[in-house]
Amino acid sequence: MAAAHMNITSSLAARPSQPDHVELRAHLLSIANCAPALEPYLAYAAYLIMGLGLLASYLSAWGYTRAFVTGYAQAVDRID
């Protein structure tokens, strides 16, 4: 694709999938029992944030793969 001067654009789904460890902080607070009144909610929040991060990661990977396949087909046509 570089020979055809093409690139894959960035995705908005890629940003939430970056590991900023928000879920890790919530999970560690839950394990350490720092806030007993919030105990079940901290764990649920950590699981929810992890699940949303995984979903965003899968959506980003799907989008990048689709863009690569489309761009590769166009690059082959340009080079030949």
Q: Where are the domains of the chain?
A: 24-72
Alpha-carbon span 36 to 56, nearest angstrom: 31
8-28: pLDDT as tens digits: 777 766 666 555 667 777 778
| C-beta neighbour count of 30 within 10 angstroms | 20
pLDDT for 68 equals: 86
pLDDT for 38 equals: 84
Q: 39 falls in which pLDDT band (50, 70, 90)? A: confident
